[in-house]
Amino acid sequence: MAKEDKVLIFDTTLRDGEQAPGASMNQREKLEVAMALERLGVDIIEAGFPVISKGDFDSVNSVAKLVKKAAVAGLTRSVIKDIDAAALALKPARHPRIHVFLATSKIHMEHKLRKSPDEIVQIAVDAVKYARKFAADVEFSPEDASRSDKDFLYRVLEAVIKAGATTVNIPDTVGYAMPEQYGRLILDIRNNVPNIGKAVISVHCHDDLGLAVANSLAAVKNGARQIECTINGIGERAGNTSLEEVVMAMRTRQDYFGVTTGIKTPEICRVSRLVSKHTGFVVAPNKAIVGGNAFRHESGIHQDGVLKEPTTYEIMTPESVGFTGLGLVLGKHSGRHALKARLKQLNIELNETELAQAFDRFKDLCDKKKEVFDEDLIAIVEDETQEVKDVWVLVSLVVTSGTAIKPRVEVVLKSGAKSFTKVATGDGPVDACYLAVDEITGLKGKLLNYGIQSVTEGKDAQGEVRVRVDFEGDDVTGVGASTDVIEASVKAYLNAVNKKCAATRVGAKKNNIDFGLQP
Binding site for ligand KIV (CB under 6 A): 16, 101, 141, 143, 169, 171, 173, 204, 206
- CB-wise, 103 or 316, nearer to ligand KIV? 103
- Cα distances (Å, whole numbers) of residue 96 to 20, 71, 161, 495: 25, 6, 18, 35
Closest approach of ligand KIV to the CB of residue 10, in Å: 10
Residue 175 or 318 with smaller CB distance to ligand KIV: 175
Burial category of 286 from C-beta neighbours within 10 Å (exposed 0-12, middle 13-18, buried 19 and up): exposed
What phi, psi does 17 have (nearest 5°)? -60, -45
Residue 321 CA to residue 319 CA, distance in Å, equals 5
Contacted entry of ligand KIV, Zn ion, none for residue 96, CB cut-off 5 to 8 Å set by kind: none
* Residues 6 or more apart in contact with residue 52 via CB below 8 angstroms: none
Taking the complex as a whole, the smallest distance from the CB of residue 103 to ligand KIV amounts, in Å, to: 8
Minimum Å distance from CB 171 to ligand KIV? 3
> Among ligand KIV, Zn ion, none, what does residue 101 contact (CB within 5–8 Å per kind)?
ligand KIV
Q: Which is nearer to ligand KIV, 208 or 431 (CB)?
A: 208
3-state secondary structure of 129: helix
Part of the chain binding Zn ion (CB under 5 A), chosen from 13-21, 129-137, 397-405, 487-495: 13-21
Least CB distance from residue 240 to ligand KIV, whole Å? 8
- CA 92, 235, 91: angle at the middle one, nearest 5? 10
CB of 101 or CB of 323, closer to ligand KIV: 101
Category of 109 on φ-ψ map: left (φ > 0), alpha (ψ -120 to 50) or beta: alpha
Q: Are the beta carbons of 260 and 7 closer than 8 angstroms?
A: yes
**Among Zn ion, ligand KIV, none, residue 361 binds (CB under 5-8 Å by kind):** none
Q: Closest approach of Cβ 31 to ligand KIV, in Å?
A: 22
Nearer to Zn ion, 187 or 238 (CB): 238
Name the binder of 141 from Zn ion, ligand KIV, none, CB < 5-8 A by kind: ligand KIV
Q: Which residues contact 316 (CB under 8 A, 6 or more apart)?
A: 248, 251, 252
CA 166 → CA 3, 4, 226, 472, distances in Å? 16, 15, 12, 44
Which of the ranges 9-17, 104-112, 139-147, 401-409 carries the binding residues for Zn ion, by CB under 5 A? 9-17
Q: Least Å distance between CB 143 and Zn ion?
A: 8
Shortest Å distance, C-beta 224 to ligand KIV: 14
Contact string 340-379 vs Zn ion (x = CB under 5 A): ----------------------------------------
Output the 3-class SS for 130-164. HHHCCCCCEEEEEECHHHCCHHHHHHHHHHHHHHC
143 binds Zn ion (CB under 5 A): no
- Which CB atom, from 228 or from 383, has the smaller least distance to ligand KIV? 228
Which CB sits closer to Zn ion, 16 or 438?
Answer: 16
Give the residue closest to Zn ion by C-beta.
16
- From ligand KIV, Zn ion, none, which one binds at residue 143 (CB under 5 to 8 Å depending on kind)? ligand KIV
Q: In which region does residue 230 sit, left (phi positive, over 0), alpha (psi from -120 to 50) or beta (all else)? A: beta
In the list Zn ion, ligand KIV, none, the entry touching 453 (Cβ below 5 to 8 angstroms by class) is none
Least Cβ distance, residue 229 to ligand KIV (angstroms): 12
Helix axes 352-368, 374-384, angle to 10 degrees: 130
What's the one-letter identity of residue 185? L
Burial category of 353 from C-beta neighbours within 10 Å (exposed 0-12, middle 13-18, buried 19 and up): exposed
Of 92 and 179, which has the nearer Cβ to ligand KIV?
179
Measure the CA–CA gap between 226 and 52, rounded to whole angstroms. Answer: 25
Stretches 16-24, 30-38, 142-150, 442-450: which one binds Zn ion (CB under 5 A)?
16-24
Note whether 64 and 27 are within 8 A (CB).
Answer: no
Choose among Zn ion, ligand KIV, none what residue 323 binds, the Cβ cut-off being 5 to 8 Å by kind.
Answer: none
Nearer to ligand KIV, 101 or 154 (CB): 101
Helices (H), 78-232: 80-89, 106-107, 117-132, 150-163, 179-192, 212-221
Quick one: 145 or 485, whose CB is closer to ligand KIV? Answer: 145
Minimum distance from residue 211 beta carbon to ligand KIV (Å):
14
Using CB under 5 A as the binding rule, whether residue 16 contacts Zn ion is answered as yes
Shortest gap between Cβ of 169 and ligand KIV (angstroms)?
6
Cβ nearer to ligand KIV, comparing 16 with 245: 16
Minimum CB separation from ligand KIV for residue 145, in Å? 8
**Contact at 8 Å (CB) between 495 and 386?**
yes
Beta bridge partners of 480: 465
Q: Which residues bind Zn ion (CB under 5 A)?
A: 16
